Structure 1
Amino acid sequence: MESEGVSLPLFHKHLMMPWNDLRKGDCCRLFESQSDGYYCKMCDFFVHKKCGDEIPEFIHHPSHPNHTLVQTRHEPDIPYVIICALCGMSILNLYYRCEMCRFNVDPHCVKYPPPDVIDNFKTHSHVLTLVNVRTEFECFAYKCEECDVVLPVDFVGYPTALDHPAEVNHSYHSLHPLKLLTGQLPDYSDGKCRLCGRKVDKELFYHCSSCNFTLDMRCVLNPPPQSLLDLKAHDHQLTLLPRLDSFTCNACGLKGDRSPYACFQCGFMIHQDCLSLPRVININRHDHRVSRTSVLGVVNSVCGVCRKKVDWTLGGFACKRCPDYVAHSKCATRNDVWNGKELQGVPEEEEDIEPYVVIDDNRIQHFSHKEHYLRRIHGNGIVYEENKRCNACTHPIGLQSFYSCMDCDFSLHQNCAECPKKKRHVLHNEQLTLVTNKELEVFWCNACHRISNGFMYKDGEKKLDLLCGSIPEPFVHPSHPQHPLYNIPIEEDKECNGCNNLEYCVLRCIEDDCGFVLGFKCITLPQVVNHIAYDHPLSLCDGEKETSGKYWCDICEGETSPEKWFYTCKDLWASLHTKCVLGDSLGLMPRSVVKLWGKSYEVVLNKSVTRPFCSKCKSRCMNPINLKLLGTSVTYFCSDYCVFSLNYQL
């Protein structure tokens, strides 16, 4: 069973796992002789155990003898670079600081302060003396008095370059000795370690120029075993082939270009990092556990994550309950898909996720309203039910079928009533729990960024309103019925086809040359709404791209873009901004009381012909929902933004 992890807040924001690996620490930049430490797989961040366990809060250091240095952490959102005064290198995490002198020193230089004199530096024949070249900020360097040359501490490379032999004989390269190099890799080198394939740290590495053979410090000091027997990876003994050769990994199905482990008995080949692939995991794309298998065996199948075809003769992850669900190994173990927990040996508990109990053909008992039964009422698709609101999503019942309480004013859309109590979602790696929010707590949805006090899917700080939390993958939207939409991760924001805004949380079409993208704010726009200014329901229009001429919104009297989605009543040729029709507070339950920035407000339906003035923007409130300051009769606000602006004087 997997360890729960170790918290090292001074170094890293995520929980870190105990890890046995000889590598350069992100704590002190050194290769330590011990091999244990703490590792965050999400960020590829490693801290030596000695550094993580033995960090004093205050120190006295010979480089700054007049004052005490205080332990400090460089926060990642700080927009400027902090430089170590001794070595001149940028500080990424923990360091020590003197606030009086603005003197900063990193843990590397705390543990190994540069010597006062170096007389054996191989690229300079004279004695080098440590001097303070910039007294205002105390920046140190080495100076040659004979040549009047000044060399930065990091260029000299003390102490790491002096602590390792100039040549080594290595078991994986017996033809020639490997020479210690610092600075620049040869032009003909690909810049990667021959054994592990990682990018070589130019500060310190070993190289054979005759064979173009390069090893990083980790593989020099602690090389991978030449042979191993790992029954989790393969049934037979595996042997490392330290050569540049193209191969296909049998575990993940991806190409490799160097040093695989191979089985000479059956021709099995595997990446070194695929040896540590987990056996049983949960992924956020599927409700069941998926297990690693050596042969997927599902012909003409596609990966459940990237939606690309998989080679059924190779390994991957498969669901034992759903015979057709498979995923590439690399896709299933991505940081945005898997939570990093190995579940082999952990019993799977059967969870009650059903949201209601059926009483008879027309009645149910929902877990959010156990005190009374709910009766099903069929929507006729004609009469728009505006007066009733769904207690789960807070939207009007509209034209849909719904469940209504027989004893009180409680209603649920049929679709909302069927939402499971627990589910997985593509925007979060952990299982989400449906919270009924009986206290009507105000929250902002992490997907569409709207304010709400309805039901939410929640895990820790992750909060999705019911509509966003219920979006499945694949998802078919009425504006793009020809192809389903998927959450395929992207490296940058994409322009939403509904509002033309840049969005990060999106679903997109994966068909070639389609490029259709929708953000969650547009995905969850209601298809049909009612508005006080119109006798008929308004329908969502997905734009008229080829129309010439100008469009005007009858509510705000501003121009509308035909390329953006709008609401329309075709009988009246109306084109209305979605924001003007819905407002900013559609997720708030009318007649409820919400607390915003320390004050309480009543959520009021704006049905009056004479609309109140907003106390912030001084215009008449156009939105269908307004906020009235509790205890007053005339203090109204258009939206939560106006409330926020007034409180913080934006």
Structure 2
Amino acid sequence: MNSNSVGAFREREIDGKPFYIVTFSSQTDTTIPSSSGETAIDGDHDLSFQQPLFLCPSLRLKADEENYSYSELLPFNISPLFPSISSADQQVQHLLDSDSRDANICKLPVVPIYWCNNKHGDYAQFICRACDTFKIDTDYYICLTCDQMFHKECVESPLELKNPSYQKPCVSCMCCDLALFSLFYHCPTYELSMHPVCAMKPIPIFIDNSKRHPHLLTFFPKQASLLCDVCGLIKEAFPTYVCPRCIFVAHQDCIYFPYVIKIYRHQHRISFTSSLPSGKWSCGVCRRKVDNNCGAYTCNKCSHYFVHTRCALRNDVWDGRDLEGVPEEPEIILELFETIADGIILHFSHDHHQGHFSDGTIVHPLFLALDPDQELEATCQICQQKATFLQKLNCIECDYVICFKCATLPYEAKYKHDTHLLTFWEGKEESDQYGWCEVCENQIVYSREDGFYACDDCCTTLHVHCLLGEDMYMLKPSQTITYIKREVHILPNNTRSRPLCHYHVDNRCPQKVVFKSEDMTFCSFRCFTRNAV
């Protein structure tokens, strides 16, 4: 392999602070200022700096087409550097010298986009055509031939990169955990893959964050067995920093974790604490043990409520806002079910699952304890659907699972043509006396998977959606919502002639509200989203 195509991390200064940054073996010291104690992480002391020109990634892909395979990972063979007269890949030089007017052959070097460099971009305005991701960066190139934009790291990505931080096997990008597409780095020995943006990110040698730790923290590449004092985990794939003076260890991202946050699993704010009181505590999210010697989030209003640091910061648990210094507003809490303890509810659909002990009969509680991967596979035992977009509660003792939509169904509901309250029944509890729905006049047996409402005194039965409506939480007319940049107006369905649903074509809208967008009317939000795809 051409030595000019090998990238190595060397010690350099950015804004007067030492970092490890990627350099090419052809670069010289004349273009980038460096610290006096310059060293290469891989031990190569012969590397030097110069300001190179780079090929358009589209040309690199085209020149390497004969090596492309859909079924296996193959190494890239085309250097990112724009060829000089003395040195050029034959396939690249052939494309550059061709007389073809093919617009896909980009014969000019890419140029930096100065107007947006060092600014965080917008997901709606940028996609890198090298790695095919919307991953936002701060430095970009543009090809004046094909008019495509690229990450700086994707343009400059050397064929081989020696990164000191990441050593653990992974499937997706092991740094940001996002999907990998056209162009990425892969290590077959450890089955490790990374986006160029992640792989070439500068690594600070020192981090000074007095809020997390009073002393300077130093980068420590050999972090395979170090337990982080902030999150309590060993993460071989994360850059790790240490304070030898205090024997303090922290992952790079843990150093900047917020101190005060609000999670969906608890009614109060929770704040970070570096140590826990003595005792045996379980996490309020995953219900597993919390290590007393490591950091965690705790509630100052509720005694002994703790959450693992990384559990609290999961995307499905935290809203992403740092609330330190933000005044807390009083909250109105509406109990849709009986709350036994924090994160534990008693739902009427599960009250027949009982355990018998010497002192009587107890009811199993339901937890929000499934992680995202478990939720994807879990099936609700009321509606019998996986419903990947809904959170699910589960019973740890008997593996009972119920989705949030079914869990929030009212136990009793009012029907305008019945003087009594109707009670919810599970589909498997239906019998011959509950035969027909009063509204749609279809058999209740077809609702075996969804449950139904019934009045024992009047023998009245209704499907759930016939009584409560298809969109029971969107029943406030005259509201406007936005879905994929389209405005949707929620209107009352009270005209003399009910409108036809644009999605169902021949069916009139039976629900209490309709959804109107761009002169099209839909009977439910589900119909609108299906039409919008």
Report TM bin, short chain.
0.5 to 0.7
Seen in structure 2, the aligned counterparts of structure 1 residues 502 and 550 have a Cα distance that, compared at 3 Å, is farther
CA distance in 1, matches of 2:176, 2:266: 32
Counterparts of 2:156 and 2:379 in 1: how far apart (Å)? 53
Which is richer in helix? 2
Partner of residue 508, structure 1: 393
Alignment counterpart, residue 229 of structure 2, candidates 240, 244, 250? 250
Query: What is the correspondence of 1:474-493 to structure 2 with a 5 Å cutoff?
Result: 474-481=344-351, 482-486=364-368, 488=370, 490=372, 492=376
| Residue type of the alignment partner of 1:638 | P
**AA at the equivalent of 1:543:** G
Per the TM alignment, residue 594 of structure 1 is displaced from its structure 2 partner at its CA by 5.1
Q: 1:261 aligns with which of 238, 241, 246?
A: 241
* Structure 2 counterparts to residues 264-343 of structure 1, below 5 A: 264-297=244-277, 299-343=279-323
SS of 1:262's equivalent in the other structure is: strand
1:541 counterpart (425, 430, 440): 425
Provide the C-alpha distance between the structure 2 equivalents of 1:237 and 1:183, rounded to a whole number of angstroms: 28
Mapped to 1, the partners of 2:472 and 2:277 lie a distance apart of 48
Render the CA deviation track for 1:86-142: whole Å, top value 9, x for unaligned.
5559xxxxxxxxxxxxxxxxxxxxxxx985866413x65995441679756x11178
What amino acid is the match of 1:349?
P
Displacement after TM superposition at 1:477 (Å):
1.5
Corresponding position: 1:566 with 2:444: no
The structure 1 residue matched to 2:220, chosen from 234, 241, 250, is 241
**TM-score, structure 1 as length reference:** 0.44
What are the within-5 Å matches in structure 2 for residues 343-382 of structure 1? 343-344=323-324, 346=325, 349=327, 351=329, 353=330
Give the match for residue 87 of structure 2.
Answer: 120
Are 1:595 and 1:601, in contact at CA under 8 Å, matched by a contact in 2?
no
1:585-596 maps to which residues of 2 (within 5 A)? Answer: none
Name the amino acid aligned to 1:276: Y
Give the whole-Å Cα distance in 2 for the aligned partners of 1:494 and 1:570. 33
Picking from 89, 92, 104, the partner of 1:139 is 104
SS in 2 for 1:552: coil
Task: Report if aligned partners of 1:567, 1:576 keep a CA contact under 8 Å in 2.
Answer: yes
Counterpart-to-counterpart distance in 2, 1:216 and 1:645? 41
Q: Any conservation in 2 of the 1:117–1:128 contact (CA below 8 Å)?
A: no
Closer, same or farther in 2 for the Cα pair 1:586/1:118, shift >3 Å?
same
Deviation of the 1:269 alpha carbon: 2.5
Equivalent residue pairs, number: 374
The question of whether the paired residues in 2 share the 8 Å contact of 1:239 and 1:262 is answered with: yes
Deviation at 1:253, TM superposition (A): 0.9
Q: What does 1:40-439 correspond to in 2, within 5 Å?
A: 86=59, 88=61, 119-121=86-88, 124=90, 127-130=93-96, 135=101, 138-140=103-105, 181-182=159-160, 222-225=202-205, 230-235=209-214, 238-243=217-222, 245-257=224-236, 260-297=240-277, 299-344=279-324, 346=325, 349=327, 351=329, 353=330, 420-421=331-332
RCO (CA 8 Å, sep 6+): is it higher in 1 or 2? 2
1:485-539 Cα deviation digits (max 9, x unpaired): 427553548543333344323341151651412232x333332234355554321
Q: What is the aligned partner in structure 1 of residue 356 from structure 2?
A: none
SS of 1:479's equivalent?
A: helix
Determine whether 1:553 maps to 2:436. Answer: yes
Secondary structure in 1 matching 2:403:
strand
8 Å contact kept, 1:131–1:141:
no
SS in 2 for 1:242: coil
1:588, 1:154 → 2: CA distance? 42
Residues 303-327 of structure 1 deviation map (CA, whole Å, 9 limit, x = unaligned) = 2233322112211122233331221
Alpha-carbon contact 1:474-1:485 (below 8 Å) kept: yes
1:267-315 Cα distance to aligned partner (Å, 9 max, x none): 4332232222233333343344433222122522222233322112211
Q: Which one-letter code corresponds to 2:456 in the other structure?
A: K
Alignment identity in percent? Answer: 25
How many Å apart are 1:540 and its aligned residue? 0.8
**One-letter code of the match for 1:242?**
P
In the alignment, the residues of structure 1 paired with residue 436 and residue 33 of structure 2 have an alpha-carbon distance, to the nearest angstrom, of 69
Alpha carbons 2:392, 2:402 under 8 Å: kept: yes
Counterparts in 2 of 1:202 and 1:119: CA distance versus 1, 3 Å = farther
One-letter amino acid of the structure 1 residue matched with residue 221 of structure 2: P
Stretches of structure 1 lacking an aligned partner (at least 5 in a row): 1-19, 25-31, 36-62, 64-82, 90-112, 143-152, 165-179, 354-419, 424-465, 605-611, 618-635
Determine if contact 1:301/1:310 at 8 Å carries over to the other structure.
yes
**Aligned residue in 1 for 2:467:** 581
- Residues in 1 aligned to 2:155 and 2:408: alpha-carbon distance in whole angstroms: 62
The alignment's C-alpha RMSD in Å is 5.6
Q: In the alignment, is residue 518 of structure 1 matched against residue 410 of structure 2?
A: no
After TM superposition, give the deviation of residue 551 of structure 1 in Å: 6.1
The corresponding residue for 1:498 is: 382
Provide the C-alpha distance between the structure 2 equivalents of 1:133 and 1:475, rounded to a whole number of angstroms: 72
Higher Cα radius of gyration: 1
Distance 2:207 2:521 in 1: 66
Paired position in structure 1 for 2:413: 529
- Partner AA of 2:423 in structure 1: S
Bigger strand fraction? 1
Kept in 1, the 8 Å contact 2:380–2:392? The answer is no
What stretches of structure 2 of length at least 5 have no aligned partner? Answer: 1-16, 23-30, 35-54, 63-79, 108-128, 132-149, 352-363, 481-487, 502-507, 523-533
In 2 relative to 1, CA 470–644 (structure 1 residues): closer, same or farther, beyond 3 Å? farther
Query: Matched residues in 2 for 1:223 and 1:645: separation?
Result: 49
Q: Is the 8 A contact 1:616 1:642 kept in 2?
A: no
Relative distance call for 1:603 and 1:312 in structure 2 (3 A) is farther
Does the residue aligned with 1:256 lie in a helix, a strand or coil? coil
Secondary structure, aligned partner of 1:508 = strand
Matched residues in 1 for 2:510 and 2:348: separation? 31
1:485–1:510 CA contact under 8 A, matched in 2: yes
| Alpha-carbon spacing, 1:507–1:154, altered in 2? closer, same or farther (3 Å) | closer
